[in-house]
Amino acid sequence: MQFALVNGERSEARPGERGTCETCGAEMVAKCGSRVINHWAHASKTDCDPWWENETLWHREWKNLFPEECREIHHVSSDGEIHRADIKTPTGIYIEIQHSPMSDFERIAREKFYKNLIWIIDGRGFRKNFDIYHMLPAPESELAQDLVWSKAKRSMQGAAAGLFFRVSANQDYQPGATKETLRGGYIESIHTIKDKIEETYRGHHQYDWVRPRKTWLDAECPVYIDFGDDYLVKLEVYDETALPCIRFVSKKKLLHDSVTETSADSIASCFYPFP
Ligand SMILES: [Zn+2]
């Protein structure tokens, strides 16, 4: 942990210091050295917050993007359960910074507990299993209403490059077809409409996550993957065909919105032109 109470004050770990845990009141010892980031650890095994994972440099760098009073914040549920969130913004959004894989059971419990929550997960360990493919037009654009995309897979190079059916062009083939029902017809390649897509583009792409960490695909709260770039990758569902997609969201945008919006779902929901 980054903070413990020393003489009643929230303090960072310094060599040789002792303090108490803000969550459980147990004794904490400062762990400082060249091989670890300075942190506090419980002096003896305790049943303090079981959801807490050991802090990595990656955790610490994320937390440090927020003011100190937003980090390691307790939340107590109505039945007295207590946990410590990585970040709680001044507008009431909880942010959990997650490095390790997580079970469905724990993911669901944490979503129920915090409710107004976003996940930021460390993607650096599975980047090679995560392909990001062609651009998609903004889902609310007129263009998008007419297109049914072939789902991209690493093993299907064509679809990964961008193939689609048009609802309007396939009414002879399948009269009355809509986006939900159209299942085939005259197939087109993205190259014919690339300019039009670029006009409406705001960060959506097809992707394939080979051997995915499935719990994140089922999450109820927004999931942002950090691959170590300036842009985070948000997992989304694109349209009424339930096409999975990702959206690039800049870290700056996420940081800005998380302290101005009051609802986790509103983060990155309001758009400015994408650079
Ligand atoms: Zn504790």
Q: How far is the CA of 16 from the centre of ligand 1 (A)?
A: 19
Q: pLDDT tens string for the chain (275 positions)?
A: 999 999 999 999 999 999 999 999 999 999 998 888 999 999 998 788 989 888 899 999 999 999 999 999 988 888 888 999 999 999 999 999 999 999 999 999 999 999 999 999 999 999 999 999 999 999 999 999 999 999 999 998 888 899 999 999 999 888 999 999 988 889 999 999 999 999 999 999 999 999 999 999 999 999 999 999 999 999 999 999 999 999 999 999 999 999 999 999 999 987 655 44
Q: What's the CA gap between 95 and 63, in Å, rounded?
A: 9
Q: How far is the CA of 28 from the centre of ligand 1 (A)?
A: 8
> 237, 213, 235, 266: which is closest to 132 by C-alpha?
235
Contact 139, 113 (CB under 8 A): no
Count of domains in the chain? 1
Q: How far is the CA of 72 from the centre of ligand 1 (A)?
A: 12
Q: How far is the CA of 30 from the centre of ligand 1 (A)?
A: 13
Alpha helices by DSSP H, the chain: 57-63, 104-114, 142-145, 157-161, 194-200, 214-217, 251-258
Report pLDDT for 3: 96
Range of the domain at 37: 1-48
Q: What's the CA gap between 234 and 243, in Å, rounded?
A: 14
CB atoms within 10 A of CB 190: 18
Q: Residue 244: inside a domain, yes or no?
A: no
Q: Residue 39: inside a domain, yes or no?
A: yes
Q: How far is the CA of 25 from the centre of ligand 1 (A)?
A: 6
Q: What's the CA gap between 30 and 8, in Å, rounded?
A: 16
- What pTM, to 2 d.p., does this model score? 0.93
Which two structure tokens, joined as six digits, stand for 273? 């032109």
Which two structure tokens, joined as six digits, stand for 54? 């050991």
Q: Residue 263: inside a domain, yes or no?
A: no
CB contact burial 129-147 (16+ within 10 A = b; e otherwise): ebbbbbbbbbbebeebebb
Q: How far is the CA of 42 from the centre of ligand 1 (A)?
A: 7
Measure the N-to-C terminal CA separation of the chain; round to a whole number of Å.
37
Q: What's the CA gap between 216 and 239, in Å, rounded?
A: 19
The DSSP secondary-structure symbol of 151 reads: P
Q: Residue 22: inside a domain, yes or no?
A: yes
Q: How far is the CA of 260 from the centre of ligand 1 (A)?
A: 31
Q: How far is the CA of 91 from the centre of ligand 1 (A)?
A: 26
Strand partners, 33: 36
Q: Per-residue DSSP letters for 198-253?
A: HHH-SSEEEEEESS--HHHHS-SS-EEEE-SSSEEEEEEE-STT--EEEEEEEHHH
Q: How far is the CA of 110 from the centre of ligand 1 (A)?
A: 18
Q: How far is the CA of 191 from the centre of ligand 1 (A)?
A: 57
Report pLDDT for 271: 65
Residues in the chain: 275
CA distances from 189 to 138, 150, 160, 186 (A): 18, 10, 11, 10
